[in-house]
Amino acid sequence: MNWRTGIVVLCIAALLGFLVWGLVKKGDSSLAIGEPVPVATLPTLPEGGEGSIEDFRGQWVLLNVWASWCGPCKEESPALDRFEEANRDQIAVVGIDTKDLNGDALAFLREFNIEYPQFRDASGDYTDGELKTTGVPESFLIDPEGNLVAHYPGPFKDEAAIEAFASPALDDAASPGETEGSS
């Protein structure tokens, strides 16, 4: 083997090493099912007050991370809004706008007539650092105790996909009055 072939082999080996390391590191970076969802105080939209996911403790929460510049976020937004309207007594839908300009986020909320609670993470420190998101949109199903039940990276195609994702919450909300053996 000449020196040029050796350098090429060494470069390929280094590249493969970095790829494997990146995949291993990425695999450890997401929140685990059953793990408590980290909380942080964030600005609210559109009011500009402050709040936290902790404000919804005791309720099921579908937390959706989005950005106004995200095409798939725009596509899934109407279905999320319809889902929220139909199921607000069973589950709280909460949005977090990330890595966005305030004016653009507010325009997005107006354009899609979104009225469910919204937080703003302009820097992405909470969504990337604490929630460990990999992109937008990304959704999390959180139980009433604040633990992660399910994670959905990417856009929901329609309301049926959202209902399937949120089924643990919807099933739980439908069952409190039922007793064993009742139909």
Computed on alpha carbons and rounded to an integer, the radius of gyration of the chain in Å comes to 20
The answer as to whether 182 is a domain residue is no
50 SS3 class: strand
The answer as to whether 25 is a domain residue is no
Residue 23 has a pLDDT of 45
Q: In what order do the strands lie in the sheet with 42-45?
A: 50-51, 42-45, 118-121, 92-98, 61-66, 138-142, 148-153
Q: What percentage of the chain exceeds 90 in pLDDT?
A: 75
Residues belonging to the chain: 183
Residue 7 has a pLDDT of 72
The answer as to whether 124 is a domain residue is yes
Q: What is the pLDDT of residues 37-91, one digit of tens each?
A: 999 999 999 988 999 999 999 999 999 999 999 999 999 999 999 999 999 999 9
Only one residue has tokens 């005791």, namely 58
Number of structural domains found in the chain:
1
Q: Containing H/E element for 120?
A: strand 118-121
The answer as to whether 27 is a domain residue is no
Find, among 70, 72, 63, the residue nearest to 42 by Cα: 63
Q: What is the pLDDT of residues 6-35, one digit of tens each?
A: 676 665 655 555 554 444 444 446 899 999
For residue 105, give Cα distances in angstroms to 82, 101, 130, 146. 19, 6, 21, 26
User: Which residue segment(s) compose the domain that 80 sits in?
Assistant: 32-174
The answer as to whether 115 is a domain residue is yes
The amino acid sitting at 84 is E
Distance from chain centroid for Cα 134: 9
The answer as to whether 68 is a domain residue is yes
| CATH number of the domain residue 170 falls in | 3.40.30.10
pTM of the predicted structure, to 2 decimals: 0.81
Distance CA 80, CA 75 (A): 10
The answer as to whether 23 is a domain residue is no
Whether 156 and 75 have beta carbons less than 8 Å apart is answered as: no
The answer as to whether 9 is a domain residue is no
